[in-house]
């Protein structure tokens, strides 16, 4: 039965399904210089600091655009033009960080592991000891291309031990996985509105160490993405430099209030964990095999090996599941064929179970029977 008459449930890593309360917050128009809107911005900035237990030593700088805009703004501002960034890569978003850092004219080194292998603190310790010219380390906390979780606290400790600076892309982890500014030293934690806080897409933000940001004036080679200038102007006027995404900002603020009411990060992680468990259990019953070992799998998005059946083709599979009311995400790996299913958004285990049923029905409708490779037959 077609469910196209209702909004589909987004099983993606952002945009994602938002609550009715969040949607309704976007039904009012706001003046971008109006005092009431400026008060929303100020309150949102305070609430974001609270998510990571940050205080006066840190500031929040919102930035128009997607999460990548905020990553580029952070690196282009906080890394001096003669800086040297070591980017830790085990997926597409690490590769993107390295690319944009190079395009900003900064020196870049990379450390690449397989897409199912997390970077370890020992790796970083060895690399920093071998190259004293490295000034900053770029880390993807939860690599969205697979869902792998990299060890933030251990890596942060090593970076601090060597007296270097840490820039964390926390796009898919912020609000769900623990990040504590009292225990983790960083120059920047970067995330966006359309992820685990469950707001709409369109606004990135950087939680920056105040001293690092204060010293970063003149570093940026971009006008629009000058994080220091954005912060200084906002501190002086309470306003955004250029036209803000007003509807996104007020909806994100509403999502932050719901986040707090649910119980904050621990409660959000608990719900996403239940979602992930319902998903992986149901998919395993059909024969699907996850790409990652459970020990390094974050409950944010799960990558599954594609069915081996010759009738399988992702676009047709996607369309069949979409017809049943759920939107999946294509794989982002180059070596093996996969697809991804997100566990985040304003959904619970019930929706995940319904999604599993929709996937099962879609497979049956497409005549796909072989999911996992057949076990090899041993010949005596």
| pLDDT exceeds cutoff 70 at 248 | yes
C-alpha closest to that of 72 among 190, 156, 152, 174: 190
Residue 332 banded pLDDT, cuts 50, 70, 90: confident
- Average per-residue pLDDT for the chain: 95
pLDDT digits (tens, 9 = 90+) for 44-72: 999 999 999 999 999 999 999 999 999 99
C-alpha closest to that of 363 among 298, 301, 333, 319: 319
C-alpha closest to that of 17 among 211, 258, 239: 258
The pLDDT, as a whole number, for residue 378 is 41
**Which of 227, 261, 295 is at the close of a domain?**
261
Residue 3 banded pLDDT, cuts 50, 70, 90: very low
pLDDT digits (tens, 9 = 90+) for 298-308: 999 999 999 99
**Which of 261, 283, 302 is at the close of a domain?**
261
Domain holding 124, by residue range, is: 20-261
DSSP state of 252: H
Please check whether residues 65 and 151 belong to one and the same domain. Answer: yes
- Taking residues 93-98, what's their average pLDDT? 97
Please check whether residues 165 and 301 belong to one and the same domain. Answer: no
Alpha helices in the chain (DSSP H): 20-24, 35-51, 67-78, 92-103, 121-130, 152-161, 210-214, 227-237, 246-262, 264-286, 314-323, 349-366
- Taking residues 83-107, what's their average pLDDT? 97
- Taking residues 17-29, what's their average pLDDT? 97
**What's the angle, vertex CA 51, arms to CA 49 and CA 52, rounded to 5?**
75
For the chain, the C-alpha Rg in angstroms (whole number) is 21
| pLDDT exceeds cutoff 80 at 373 | no
Please check whether residues 47 and 124 belong to one and the same domain. Answer: yes
**How far apart are the C-alpha atoms of 344 and 347, rounded to whole Å?**
7
The pLDDT, as a whole number, for residue 334 is 67
pTM (predicted TM-score): 0.94
Please check whether residues 122 and 268 belong to one and the same domain. Answer: no
356 within domain boundaries: yes
| pLDDT exceeds cutoff 90 at 159 | yes
Residue 171, domain CATH: 3.40.640.10
Residue 377 banded pLDDT, cuts 50, 70, 90: very low
The pLDDT, as a whole number, for residue 372 is 85
**How far apart are the C-alpha atoms of 363 and 355, rounded to whole Å?**
12
63 within domain boundaries: yes
The 3-state DSSP class for residue 12 equals coil
Please check whether residues 57 and 160 belong to one and the same domain. Answer: yes
Please check whether residues 150 and 297 belong to one and the same domain. Answer: no
- Number of domains the chain contains: 2
Residue 376 banded pLDDT, cuts 50, 70, 90: very low
Please check whether residues 85 and 164 belong to one and the same domain. Answer: yes
Residue 300, domain CATH: 3.90.1150.10
Please check whether residues 155 and 170 belong to one and the same domain. Answer: yes
- Taking residues 215-242, what's their average pLDDT? 97
Residue 335 banded pLDDT, cuts 50, 70, 90: confident
Please check whether residues 250 and 282 belong to one and the same domain. Answer: no
Please check whether residues 47 and 169 belong to one and the same domain. Answer: yes
Q: Are 167 and 98 a contacting pair, CB within 8 Å?
A: no
- Taking residues 124-145, what's their average pLDDT? 97
Please check whether residues 270 and 316 belong to one and the same domain. Answer: yes
- Taking residues 339-359, what's their average pLDDT? 97
């Amino acid at each position: 039965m077609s469910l196209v008459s209702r909004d589909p449930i987004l099983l993606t890593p952002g945009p994602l399904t938002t609550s009715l309360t969040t949607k309704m917050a976007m039904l009012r128009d706001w003046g971008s210089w109006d005092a009431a809107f400026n008060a929303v911005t100020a309150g949102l900035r305070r609430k974001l600091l609270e998510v990571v237990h940050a205080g006066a030593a840190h500031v929040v700088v919102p930035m128009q655009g997607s999460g990548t805009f905020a990553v580029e703004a952070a690196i282009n501002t906080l890394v001096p033009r003669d800086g040297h960034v070591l980017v830790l890569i085990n997926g597409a978003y690490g590769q993107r960080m390295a690319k944009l850092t190079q395009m900003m004219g900064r020196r870049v080194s990379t450390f690449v592991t397989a897409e199912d292998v997390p970077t370890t603190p020992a790796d970083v310790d060895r690399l920093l000891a071998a190259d004293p010219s490295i000034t900053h380390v770029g880390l993807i906390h939860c690599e969205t291309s697979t869902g792998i979780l990299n060890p933030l606290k251990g890596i942060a400790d090593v970076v601090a031990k060597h007296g270097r600076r840490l820039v964390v892309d926390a796009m898919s982890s912020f609000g769900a996985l623990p990040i504590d500014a009292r225990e983790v030293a960083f120059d920047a934690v970067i995330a966006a509105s359309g992820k685990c806080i469950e707001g709409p897409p369109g606004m990135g933000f950087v939680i920056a160490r105040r001293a690092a940001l204060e010293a970063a004036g003149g570093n940026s080679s971009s006008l629009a993405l000058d994080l220091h200038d954005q912060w200084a102007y906002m501190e002086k006027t309470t306003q955004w430099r250029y036209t803000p995404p007003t509807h996104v900002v007020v909806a994100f603020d509403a999502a932050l209030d719901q986040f707090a009411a649910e119980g904050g990060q621990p409660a959000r992680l608990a719900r996403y964990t239940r979602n992930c468990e319902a998903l992986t259990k149901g998919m395993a019953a059909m024969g699907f095999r996850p790409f990652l070992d459970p020990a390094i799998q974050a409950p944010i998005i799960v990558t599954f090996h594609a069915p081996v059946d010759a009738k399988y083709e992702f676009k047709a599979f996607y369309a069949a599941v979409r017809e049943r009311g759920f939107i999946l995400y294509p794989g982002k790996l180059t070596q093996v064929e996969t697809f991804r299913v997100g566990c985040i958004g304003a959904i619970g285990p019930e929706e995940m179970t319904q999604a599993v049923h929709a996937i099962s029905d879609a497979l049956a409708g497409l005549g796909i029977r072989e999911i996992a490779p057949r076990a090899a037959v041993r010949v005596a």
